Amino acid sequence: MKKRIFIILLLLFANCTSDEQGYQPTELPIEIPEVFSTYLIPPVIPADNPQTVEGVALGRKLFFDKILSADGTQSCASCHSPQNAFAENLPTSIGVDGISGTRNAMPLFNLAWNYGDRFNWDGSALSLERQAEEPVENPIELHSDWNNVVNRLQNHPEYPELFQLAFNTSTITKELTTKALAQFERTLISANSKFDRYTLGQASLTPQELNGLDIFLREDKGDCFHCHGNPNNPLWTNNDFHNNGLDATFTDLGLGAVTGDPNDNGKFRSPSLRNLAYTAPYMHDGRFATLDEVIDHYSEGLQNSPTIDPLMKQIAQGGVQLTAQEKADLKAFLLTLSDPSFLNNLDFQN
């Protein structure tokens, strides 16, 4: 598959070099799933980085290529595996030098619908293109240097031609590299869960799953929907930042370290609840190994602090106090948001 795409791109390159003045990369509009087009406004695509067939193909090759790391041992996919919904099954990622980081690798899907355009757990990246810059030089991640990476790509037997096809220039830059990565990442769309099919009238939920949905939506029960969406917000996140009561004191300030505002201390971006079946462990530091532990936290494990989110209404009682049966029902509903077809989509593989 990969070889065939490369041959096609080479043929396109041969054609374009014979008519360089007229060559334009092939537009590739985002394929919007029916459940998104029904409930969501259109995705965010930067005017200076439109989606193209050639740009997405280049971004996919770069995403899986260890050439971006200092010693050629890791790629973006090392911490964002397709089989984990582009997350990782470790609490925190381990970089090329064997050093463990402090954050859990966030899953990657439906990124084009992050309307606030703030990425990472702490919102430190103000676009998907900028997000792609940071891991390359981070000393506890790929620990490389963009000048070295660009030189390697420029002297590679394939990449100059692929950049020519994607961006009409064979002069490779950091900016074009991150643009290609962002184009690929915007194609990572997950919208074929059991609950999606239920929404479209194509599947049924069990009584337990329906009761779990009720608990999810009720303010006197789970009260989850404020931060994690609802059937009318099928992203299952508001992509906003909250202190959800993990700690009474903070070792990681989260958004507060980015804004410098102490009122933001302990706030992290709400992750989507899609694909929870594949994205354990959970929370920004991967502290919870199972979904049961997450539900227990919101039920009776909340910790108070000066920036606790007002939506944690039952903080005085330590949580929403669900029964064992309510916890089981809520978990059953949450698992209907997982999309196995996303893991096996050949367009997202190396």
Q: What is the pLDDT of residues 239-259, one digit of tens each?
A: 999 999 999 999 999 999 999
Query: Is the pLDDT confidence value at 168 over 80?
Result: yes
pLDDT tens, residue by residue, 190-240: 999 999 999 999 999 999 999 999 999 999 999 999 999 999 999 999 999
Structure tokens at 186: 């915007």
pLDDT, tens digit, 9 for 90 and up, residues 292-335: 999 999 999 999 999 999 999 999 999 999 999 999 999 999 99
Q: Express each pLDDT in 23-63 by its tens digit.
A: 999 999 999 999 999 999 999 999 999 999 999 999 999 99
Distance CA 237, CA 228 (A): 4
pLDDT reading at 182 higher than 60: yes
**Quick one: average pLDDT of 126-138?**
96
At 22, the pLDDT band (50, 70, 90 cuts) reads: confident
Q: Return all residues near 124 (Cβ < 8 A) that are at least 6 apart.
A: 134, 258
* pLDDT tens readout for residues 75-130: 999 999 999 999 999 999 999 999 999 999 999 999 999 999 999 999 999 999 99
Mean pLDDT over each residue of the chain, to the nearest integer: 94
Return the pLDDT at 110.
Answer: 98
pLDDT at site 18:
42
- pLDDT range class, residue 268, cuts 50, 70, 90: very high
Q: How far apart are CA 270 and CA 107, in angstroms?
A: 12
Identify the pLDDT of residue 144: 97
Closest of 46, 47, 68 to residue 59, by C-alpha: 68
Distance CA 207, CA 211 (A): 6
CA angle 166, 110, 12 (to 5 degrees): 20
